[in-house]
A and B are shown apart, each in its own frame.
Chain A
C-alpha cells in the first residue's frame, strides 16, 4: 500500500480522531503517565531516505533525535520471539490470537492510532518500521479483527481475551517514599518494586497456578506483569477483579491515614507475603526511606495508630530526641501499644496495627483499572521509554533482587555496543585470516545471521523473554499433541 507521505500524517491524525475510544478511561489514563512524549512534531521519520547506516548515523545524532527509534526498530526489536509470543501457538502460522489483537501506536507527535491489527509478522514489522511509533500498546484480542471494527455495529465488537496484566507505578508510592517523587526513581526506592514482584509472582504461581509470567521494566519508574496462561487470558472482568482484590491490601484515598486493615488471622496468602514484607521493611523504612528520621514522616506513621494517647505520648518523646534510631522508635511504638493493651483489655484492636503499618509501608500498590478491564491498553515490552531512552526490558524474576533500573540499555548505548562489536569481529576476522581457525564459529563468519540484539547488552534480556515465549510455545505444542491423540483414539 503506497501512501503519499505528506498526506499521511494528516490522514493518520484524522483517523485517530475518528477512531472511537471504547472507554473514556483508556486514553489519558493519568496526566503524569508517559503521554508527554516526544517534543518534535516536525520530524517525519518516514519521509526520510536516510538509510540507517549505523556506523555513520549513530555518531551524528543528538540524544533526542527520533532517528534513534528507527535504529532500534530496525536492529534491536526481537520481532521473532515477539511474534511467537503474541501468536500463542506452536506453529508459525498466524493464529487468531495474533490477527485479532489490538495494537495501539503512539506516534511521535502524540497521535494515537488505536485498533491496529496485523495479519502476520511481516506486516507488523513493516508498519512499525514505517511509523516508528514512540510507544506500542497492546490491547485485547477481539472477536473480529480490530481493523475491521468500523464495519460492524459497536456492540458487535467485543474483547474476548487478553493476558492478565498488572501495572505497578512508583507514583502510587509517593506518600511513603522520601528519596524521590513523581517520575524519578533510584535504587533505594526500587526496592518497593522488588517487593512487589516477589509477592505478586508468588501469588500468581502458587495460588492461581499460573506458569507463564513475564515481568517487564516499564522504562522509567514502574513495572508491568503479563500472565500469558490460557486460563488467565480467558478471565472476564469480574474474575480479574476477584484476583486483584485478592492481591490488594492498600485501600483508601488521600484523606485516609490508615490504608491497611487486615484481620488478626491472616489469610495464608498474606502470611506468605508478610514474610517478604518483614524481610524488606527494616531496610526500606528504617534505612533507605528514613521514615523515622523527620517529624513530618513519623507523624504520618503515628497517625495510623487509632489511639490519640499513644500518638501524643510518642510525639512528645521523639520531639525530645529526634535522632533516636528508627529501630528504637519502632520499639517505642510496640511498647506503647503493648502497655495500652495491658491497661485496657478492650483495646485488643490495637494488636494488628504495627503489622498493618508494615504492610502499608511495604506491600505492593496496584493500578487496578489496568488489571480489571480486559480492553485496557498496556505498554508493550521492548518499547523505548521516550523520557529515559531506556528499553522496556523483561526482568528475570529469579534475579529480581539484582535488577537496577539504571542498567537497562538505552538505544544509544546499544548502537555503540553494536558498532564496537562489529569492529571487533572485523579485526578478529582480519586476524583470523592470518592465524587460521582459532576463532569461535560465531566470530568466524560475520555474514552468519546473528541477530543484532544478541551482540549487545540487550541479549540477556531477550533471553529472558525467549524463555517465557518458549514455555508458551511448548505448552501450545503439548496441547496440540494431546488433541491429536484424543482425536486419534476416537477414530479407532
Chain B
C-alpha cells in the first residue's frame, strides 16, 4: 500500500516506467529513523498509523510498569505486534515478498514520525515518548538475530574505530582493569549482608528498573544476545578454561538484576575455583598490608593479575570512540577513558547504539518542537495530534483537586492521607522549620496538587519557615513559590512530581530530605519508620520484600493498603490481593500507586464519608450502599489512563449492580497481584 506511493518520490522514477526496488528502501528491519518518509497519506491512515503505534508503545510500557516476567512480556508484545504492527522478517524457510516487508517497515517509519509530531510539543510529552521509543527500540534490537544486528550496525554510519593490536598491547593493563571492573561490579555490590546494606550502591545502578526503559538496565533474557556477547568476548580459540569462565560471566551479567536476590544459589554453582583464587588473594593481600602499611588495599597492579589472570582480553575487540559518544558508559565507569577517547569492548556496542538512538531522537524532538508552530497552519492536523496525545497520559494533578480549596492550617490535619515521601517532608519541615530546595519543590507542588491555592501556599510556607523573618522569606522563597504556581518567570504551571519523577529524579544529597523513602532510604531506617507507623513484622517484611526487589511503587501500594486497612479496623491478614472484605473491595488500591497525589486522593476519598457520619469503616461497608460508596470505585477507575472508559462511565444505580461491578473487578485485582508474585518467584 504505502511503499508504491513512496516510490513516486524516489529518484529512480522515470516518466514511462516505474520500477519498484523495494529491497533498497528498507534493507534492514530496524531503523534509527534518521530521515522522515516522503509520501502522501490520507488523514485516516495518518490517524490509524498513530493509533497502532501507540498500542505497541503502551503495551510495552504497561508490561514494564507491571514488571511482567520475560515470558509474559514476550507473549503480550507478540500479540500486540501481530494485532497492530506486524514486523516480519524473511527467512529461507518462510520467505516473504520484499513488497510486504517494505510496507511493514514503512508503516513503522511513518507511525514513528507521526508520533514525533504529536509528542514533541511539551517537555513532558517529549520525555514520555523518548522513553517509550527507546524501550521499544531496545526490545526490538535484542530480539534480532546476531546477523541482523550486525547488518543493522553496518548500515549506520558509526563513528568508532577498531583499536589496533599495537595500541591494545600498549593499553592492555588498563583495558583489562576496566573490563574486569565492569564485569565483577555486581559481584561486589550484591554480596552485602541482609541487614542494612541492600541500599544505594547497586540500587543506583538499577534505578532504571522502575520504568524499565533506561538504557543501562534490564539486560533481557535473550539467548541471542548472549551469543553476541560471547562472540565479542572470546571469539574463537582461547583455552577451554577461559572459554568457560567467560560464559559464566556472561550469564551472570545477563541476570544482573536478579543476582541480588539469588546470589547464593548461583554462586554455589559457579566454579569454586574462582572463590578459592579470591580467598588466596585475600590472604596474600593481608600479608602485603602488614608489610606496606595501613592503607594499601588493592592498589598495586600485580595483585590484581593474580586474581583475575583467567580473564583474558586478547580476543576481545575494542573500539575507540570520542567519549561524548559513549557518555552513558563513561558515566558508569564501564570503559577505559584516556585523552578524551573511550575504549569500548564489543559487548557494549548495544549500549552505544541505544545511547545514539536516544540522543538523536532527543535532539530531533527538540528540533521538531521548534519547527512545529510553522506547521500549525494545516488546521486539519492539530486536532488529530491533540487527540493522539490526549490519550494515554497519566493524570497530571494540576487543575482539579478533590478537597476543594484548602487553607494553610488544614495541611496539618491531612498528613494521614499523605504518602511517606510527603509525610517525611512535612515532619522534617515541622522539626527543622526549613527544607532544602529539592524538598520544597517536591512538597510544595504536592500541596498545590491537593488544592492549596497560591495565597494559602505562601502563608503555609511562611509559617513553616518560622525561623525566617517575613522580609527574608519574601526575598528568598516567595519568588520560588510564585514561580511554581506559574506566576513568575516563564509562567509555566508546574505539575506535581509523579512517583517516577521522584524515584528517578535527583538523588537526595547530604542534608536533603526529598526523594522516595522506599527508594532512597537505607533498609534499617525504612524498617524503623514502618514500625513507627504501626506496621507489624509481618506487614513490614511484606513491604520490604517489594523494596528489595526494587519495586518501590508496589511497596508504596502495599503500604497504602496495610495502613488504610489498619485505620479502618480491618485485619491486615485478610488483605489478599488488595483489600477485599465480604466480596467488597474497600481499601484495595487496585492500581499501583503512580503518583503521590493519587495516594492522597484515594486515601482522602476512602475516609471522607466515614469521618462525616462518624461510622466505622469496617461496618459501614456491609449492606447500606449510599452515594458516597458508589463514588469510590468511580474515582478509582479514573486514575491511571483514560483508556478504559467503560469503568469510569459506569454509574451504578442499584446496589446489586455495584456488587456486580465489584465482582467483575475482583479477578483483575487478584490477577494483578498474582503477576507480581510470579515475577518475584522468577527472580
Contact = CB atoms under 8 A, between A and B. Distances in A.
A320 interface: no
B298 A261 contact: no
Contact of B299 (A29, A242, A274, A348): A274
A206 B338 contact: yes
Contact of B200 (A210, A251, A268, A327): A251
Nearest to A241: B331
Contacts of B512: 253-254
Contacts of A263: 181, 184-185, 187-189
Given A110-B475, A246-B330, A263-B184, A258 B520 contact: no
B297 to A, nearest CB: 5
Interface in A228-282: 231, 235-236, 238-239, 241-246, 251-259, 261-271, 274-275, 278, 281-282
Contacts of B324: 231, 235, 239
Interface in A164-184: 171-172, 174-175
A123 interface: no
B282 interface: yes
B331 A307 contact: no
Contact of A265 (B177, B193, B339): B177
Contacts of A351: 282
Interface stretch (B385-393, B415-423, B434-442, B625-633): B434-442
Question: Which residue of A207, A241, A265, A267 has the most chain B CB atoms within 10 A of its CB atom?
Answer: A265
A20 interface: yes
A346 to B, nearest CB: 8
A306 interface: yes
Interface stretch (A98-106, A151-159, A437-445): A151-159
A241 B513 CA distance: 22
Interface residues of B, number: 84
B483 A208 contact: no
Question: Which residue of A19, A255, A307 has the most chain B CB atoms within 10 A of its CB atom?
Answer: A255
Contacts of B489: 19-22, 24
Contacts of A278: 295-296, 299
Interface in B621-657: none
Contacts, number: 221
B418 to A, nearest CB: 18
B484 A24 contact: yes
A28 B339 contact: no
B518 to A, nearest CB: 12
B261 interface: no
Contacts of A20: 489-491
B178 A267 contact: yes
Given A253-B510, A254-B511, A268 B336 contact: yes
A152 to B, nearest CB: 11
B157 interface: no
B304 interface: yes
B177 A267 contact: yes
Given A264-B184, A338-B286, A351-B282, A24 B494 contact: yes
Contacts of B488: 17, 21
B441 A24 contact: yes
Interface stretch (A58-66, A352-360, A379-387): A352-360
Contact of B188 (A22, A255, A264): A264
A308 interface: yes
A254 to B, nearest CB: 6
B282 A341 contact: yes
Contact of A268 (B174, B201, B510): B174
A174 B490 contact: no
Contact of B490 (A31, A154, A259, A345): A154
B398 interface: no
7 contacts: A28-B479, A208-B323, A208-B339, A306-B196, A330-B294, A334-B294, A349-B191
Given A278-B296, A306-B196, 11 more contacts: A28-B437, A209-B340, A242-B323, A242-B327, A245-B332, A253-B510, A253-B515, A255-B521, A256-B200, A258-B522, A265-B304
- A-B pairs, top 4 by smallest CB distance, nearest first, are A261-B201, A242-B327, A253-B508, A209-B340
